[in-house]
Amino acid sequence: MALHGHAEGDGYVPGSDETHIIQIVTAYRKEARDAKRIWEQKTRANWNAYHGRRSWRHKVRGQSKETIPKVPMATEQISGYIKTGLVEFGDWFDVELANDYILESIDASATRRLVKDRLEGLDFATLIADGVKVGLMEALIIYKVYMIDKKKRVPEVEYGLRVNELGESEMTQNMVMRETVVPELAIDLVRAWDYYPDPSGRGLYKIHRVERDIHEVIAMAEAGVYKYEVIEQIQTNFQKAEDKVARAATTESPIGESTPKERKTVTIDEVWATILDERGRVQNGMENIVCAVANEQYLIRDPEPNRFWHGEDPFVEAPIVRVPHSVWHKAFMDHVTPLARAHDELFNLILDGAIKSVWGVSQIRLADLENPSQVSGGIGPGTTLAIKQSVPDTREAFKRVDTGNVPQEAMAITNLIDREIQAASLVSETKLGLLPPRQV
């Protein structure tokens, strides 16, 4: 098959360029991965703040290590606000027919109902809300829109004939369930960690890394998506890897794994790209092609023309905060997370000061006690200490030497940071159900 107008025989020949294709796909993904390292650092910090994960290595024993859920609450509030707008205020979309469309307006209503049915089947409101949540944390919302063949059991009426008691023929109707395959719309929310676009913004390639169980890969190979002979090579390598682990276990302490040994997974890079040769030109007419590489060493799907009717890749990308000339743009929470971290630090210091003002720091003369073991586990509230008779009345066996306090300046700064977090995350506006003011 000729690709995109090239002469027959100038296209991809299976097996001829596999090594170069695998190498160029690996180089593409490495370029994209290196370009988003700074993004990864900020995104990891945002998600850690969302999950309440913090490093407290700078704290000593006894210091408070509390986390205030500023980031998750702001994220859930904004995401919930968007979802509410989709599910509680009627249709949020409409269908318009072109002026030269031959169908009547009733067909627009039917089309609207069809679209609504498809979107409700996908739980589209939750997809959007989750996408907003990801966009707040990761900067880029990425959806993959495509069609799948799905097996369904549908009811059908089966007609037949029978002879009744009078000897007459009459028609019968029976409801039966038949299994059929129907095309359905599929929309996936793609993890940005698994997405590798061309960092130049010129769209030379987009790579989506997925992990599939081997039985899923075999089913797709039987459906003609992947090459079955390559699957057999991958399975052979699985066995070699297991043998290597078994040999290592005889001389080394085995490391426990939570994944059952029967579960085999394959890492697949799905590629929408133009393949270049060493001179930077399109190789063998492989422009706007689709292919797949498994475990970074097997061409599991030969390059073929992009079969989408629009001729583009299936990814829909949208940032919440757009940055000109950027591919990854900017996450909404990039500035909220450091403020939340500062708020946590100050809150813990205030908490430590309050605790210290109650307990303070004390000194005790163990030699003056009748039973020194009485204070071995600390001195709790209401504890009475037995002092030796020989201790003079003017001598204190137990004395408080330091007390903590919470300065008013600390409370003022805490309130200031809290206001800055609200301003940066726009929670004040969304809490009232208002859209943030447009900056034009």
Query: 45 is in which domain, residue-wise?
Result: 18-330
Q: Is residue 335 part of a domain?
A: no
Q: Confirm whether 1 is domain-assigned.
A: no
Is 112 a member of any domain?
yes
Residue that terminates a domain, selected from 274, 305, 330: 330
Residue 240's pLDDT is what? 54
The answer as to whether 134 is a domain residue is yes
Within a domain: 438: no
271-304 pLDDT, tens digit per residue, is 999 999 888 898 887 899 999 999 999 999 999 9
Residue 103 confidence class, pLDDT cut points 50, 70, 90? low
Summarize the confidence of residues 300-328 as an average pLDDT. 91
Domain-located, residue 6: no
pLDDT in tens, 17-65: 888 899 999 999 999 999 998 899 999 999 999 999 988 999 888 888 9
Task: Report the pLDDT value the prediction gives residue 16, as an integer from 0 to 100.
Answer: 58
298 lies in the same domain as 379: no
Confidence at residue 25, expressed as pLDDT on a 0 to 100 scale: 94
Residue 346 lies in a domain: yes
- 406-428: average pLDDT: 82
**pLDDT confidence of residue 342:** 92
Per-residue model confidence as pLDDT tens digits over 356-408: 777 777 788 888 888 888 887 777 777 788 888 888 887 887 777 776 677 78
Is residue 120 domain-shared with residue 259, that is, in the same domain?
A: yes
Same domain, 50 and 140: yes
User: Sorting pLDDT into bands at 50, 70 and 90, what band is 239?
Assistant: low
Domain boundary, last residue among 274, 297, 330: 330
- Sequence-distant (≥ 6) Cβ neighbours of residue 374 within 8 angstroms: 383, 385, 386
Q: pLDDT class for 315, splitting at 50, 70, 90? A: very high
Regarding whether 214 and 188 lie in a shared domain, the answer is yes
Domain count, the chain: 2
Is the residue at 8 inside a domain?
Answer: no
Q: Do 35 and 87 belong to one domain?
A: yes
